[in-house]
Amino acid sequence: MLQRFLRHVVVVVVAMLGTATTTEAHHGYARFDRCRLFTVAGEIESLTWHNPHVEFTFKTRDGTTYTVVWLSVQQLKRNGVAPDSLKVGDHIEVTGAKRPEEDLREITLMTSIWRPGDGWRWSQPPQGC
């Protein structure tokens, strides 16, 4: 009886660890500094409207390229953001959390995206600090 119970406990623990690893791999937000937001501006070079996240790249005036991992298609649609809201070539300003490693130019947990040319803006409160 005790062996059977222990076997069940081991199975549950292994299943929980597997789930935690999968979640971290996809949503590894621990690598991003939520308390120190970063703002940068540039022109959109590519935009991919797909799940699990809408992603785009943009290049700053100094030639640095950043990748932005935004929300899911469904989340953005619920917030009134349509696939044609942003386009390649748009000049934007992005505020969000970035990875601390300087060679990894990835931004996520955005609090705002602003297109100064026409004033279009998307924003949400910071995601915890």
Q: pLDDT of 2-60, one tens digit each?
A: 666 456 544 444 444 443 333 333 455 556 556 778 899 999 999 999 999 999 999 99
The answer on pLDDT for 108 being more than 90 is no
Task: Please report which residue ranges of the chain form alpha helices under DSSP H.
Answer: 2-26, 73-78
CB 106 within 8 A of CB 98: yes
Q: What is the pLDDT of residue 38?
A: 85
- Distance, in Å, from the CA atom of 103 to the CA atom of 11, rounded to the nearest integer, reads 39
Nearest alpha-carbon partner for 39 in 111, 116, 89, 88 = 111
Q: How far apart are CA 51 and CA 107, in angstroms?
A: 17
Q: What is the pLDDT of residue 75?
A: 94
The share of the chain scoring above pLDDT 70, in percent, equals 68
What is the structure's pLDDT at 3? 65
CA–CA separation, 83 vs 56, rounded Å? 12
Count Cβ atoms below 10 Å from residue 94 Cβ, excluding itself.
23
Please give the model's pTM, rounded to 2 decimal places. 0.72
